[in-house]
Amino acid sequence: MTIEITLLGTGSPIPDPNRAGPSTLIRAGGQQLLVDCGRGVQQRLAAVGGSANALSALLLTHLHSDHIADLGDLLITRWVTTFTPDAPPLPIIGPPGTAEVVEATLRAFGHDIGYRIAHHDDLTAPPPVDVQEYTTGQVWDRDGVRITVAPTDHRPVTPTIGFRIEHSDDDGTASVVMAGDTVPCDSLDELATGADALVHTVIRHDLIELMPQQRIRDICDYHSSVAQAAATAKRAGVGTLVLTHYVPAIAPGQEEQWRALAAAEFDGPIELGDDLHRVEVSARS
């Protein structure tokens, strides 16, 4: 059993010509789970042979704009490119507030939805969704893939959640934890304990603190630095640390500097890179 992690978008709220907004594709046991849906997510999905209509579920860590920027595009595109009648609704699992955001997004596209229903005989209802809000516990158990959630700490953004995705077969269980945006906290440590990989968003406190704008410096207090994410990985005893959501964007040639900051705290494999960077994890024996 394996789990494949693809960093679809490694960017941040600042538009970048080379990095899409935060979004990660998890493929396990034939299921495709999209974690967050930042700017440009569908172009990146297409680049790896994925598509909105092939997703098994959308998982949202929190409702910050950079993580849900393309939610409307994703819902509409899935709807208009699903040609099988009575297709099941898209499961959307997120923290409390998710249902309101999804509803408001569909309302914002209400004119579009009306035009398409009027124009196509086989479209008779708005995009079907099945929104489930959680802050803790098991939220998914299907064909060998299990997902549990736990609270993270991105205050004053609240509630926020991390996901632990496990894929089991006769050979064992592989596990990946998606931390999202968070400072170090006990519930994330617990969620990540023993995971084969931890995917963590990071910002360079050392660089951001030099910025002249206070509004930019503000972000240090609710995001983990590279060292903090690596320390979380070490405390939790994870196999591989995967860094994403780089703020500021990793400058060309600076990858090893970022890796060294993590390696000072965590001695396992450290993965980072450009959009579409892929990591395959198996259960550690």
Least distance in angstroms from the C-beta of 154 to Zn ion = 5
15 preceded by cis ω (within 30°)?
Answer: no
Gap between the Cα atoms of 36 and 197, Å rounded: 18
The pairing of strands 31-35 and 137-142 is unpaired
Give residues 137-196 in contact with Zn ion (rule: CB under 5 A). Answer: 181
Least distance in angstroms from the C-beta of 172 to Zn ion = 33
Least distance in angstroms from the C-beta of 66 to Zn ion = 5
| Residue type for position 200 | H
Q: Decide whether 66 or 70 has the Cβ nearer to Zn ion.
A: 66
User: By CB under 5 A, which span of 47-55, 57-65, 117-125, 166-174 interacts with Zn ion?
Assistant: 57-65
Block residue for tokens 């070490």: 234
Instruction: Tell me which of 16, 66, 153, 275 is the catalytic residue.
Output: 66
Has 181 been annotated as catalytic? no
Helix axis angle for 110-119 and 98-108, nearest 10°, is 60
Give the CA count within 13 Å in the CB-facing half-sphere of 202: 30
Q: Decide whether 16 or 66 has the Cβ nearer to Zn ion.
A: 66
Q: Decide whether 79 or 163 has the Cβ nearer to Zn ion.
A: 163
Q: Decide whether 27 or 39 has the Cβ nearer to Zn ion.
A: 39
Q: Decide whether 64 or 164 has the Cβ nearer to Zn ion.
A: 64
Total residues contacting Zn ion by CB under 5 A comes to 3
Q: Can you give the C-alpha Rg of the chain in angstroms?
A: 19
Gap between the Cα atoms of 153 and 169, Å rounded: 32
User: By CB under 5 A, which span of 42-50, 63-71, 87-95, 126-134 interacts with Zn ion?
Assistant: 63-71
**Binding to Zn ion by residue 66, rule CB under 5 A?**
yes
Q: Tell me if 143 sits within 8 A of 31, measured CB to CB.
A: yes
Q: DSSP alpha helices (H): ranges in the chain?
A: 41-47, 65-68, 71-80, 98-108, 110-119, 186-192, 205-208, 214-217, 226-236, 255-263
User: By CB under 5 A, which span of 36-44, 60-68, 112-120, 248-256 interacts with Zn ion?
Assistant: 60-68
Gap between the Cα atoms of 102 and 115, Å rounded: 19
Least distance in angstroms from the C-beta of 36 to Zn ion = 8
User: By CB under 5 A, which span of 58-66, 134-142, 182-190, 232-240 interacts with Zn ion?
Assistant: 58-66
Q: Decide whether 153 or 181 has the Cβ nearer to Zn ion.
A: 181
Gap between the Cα atoms of 285 and 281, Å rounded: 12
Catalytic residue ranges: 66
- Would you tell me which residues interact with Zn ion (CB under 5 A)? 64, 66, 181
